[in-house]
């Protein structure tokens, strides 16, 4: 009987996950700008995204608050805003990548590029991604 209950619980848990789920993006420090980008991984600027733990920066119109960090993890490509999630917008609130972490230069807090979670109250602002072949769509 315990096995059946365990299997029922496990199936409910697995079924509740969705590829379209994104970390809660309600953050009083960061505005909610619309994001809609199409990235071609065949372009030289994004060649590192073909390898595990590779990353690339995207900036310009439609690229969030301070630009976007694209990161190739075990589950595909993730997209996070470069704005420090626990700082008001300032000269020092644009994060840079260091290994598999993003680091906020204002307070030196580190955030995992696998989860977006780090040393502050709020996680990194995450965007949805969808990949078909060598084309990645980033949106919110």
pTM above 0.75, yes or no: yes
Residue 8 inside a domain? The answer is no
CATH at residue 114 = 2.102.10.10
Residue 6 inside a domain? The answer is no
Residue 14 inside a domain? The answer is no
Residue 44 inside a domain? The answer is yes
Give, for all 140 residues of the chain, the pLDDT tens digit.
555 444 444 444 444 444 444 545 789 999 999 999 999 999 999 999 999 999 999 999 999 999 999 999 999 999 999 999 999 999 999 999 999 999 999 999 999 999 999 988 999 999 999 999 999 999 99
Question: What domain range includes position 44?
Answer: 23-139
Residue 9 inside a domain? The answer is no
What is the DSSP secondary-structure string of the chain?
-HHHHHHHHHHHHHHH--TT-------TTS-----EEEEETTSGGGGGGGSTT-EEEE-STTSTTT-EEEEEETTEEEEEESB-TTS-S-TT-B-EEETTEEE-TTT--EEETTT--BSSSSPPPEEEEEEETTEEEEE-
């Amino acid at each position: 009987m315990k096995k059946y209950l365990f299997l029922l619980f496990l199936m409910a848990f697995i079924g509740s996950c969705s590829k379209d789920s994104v970390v809660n993006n309600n953050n009083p420090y960061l505005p909610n700008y619309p994001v809609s980008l199409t990235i071609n991984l065949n372009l030289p600027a994004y060649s590192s995204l073909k390898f595990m733990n590779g990353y690339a920066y995207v900036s310009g119109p439609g690229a969030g608050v301070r630009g976007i960090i694209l990161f190739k993890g075990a589950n595909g490509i993730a997209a996070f805003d470069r704005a420090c999630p626990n700082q008001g917008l300032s000269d020092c609130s644009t994060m840079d990548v260091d290994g598999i972490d993003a680091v906020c230069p204002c307070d030196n807090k580190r955030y995992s590029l696998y989860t977006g979670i780090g040393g502050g109250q709020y996680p990194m602002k995450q965007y949805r991604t969808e990949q078909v072949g060598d084309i990645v769509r980033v949106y919110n």
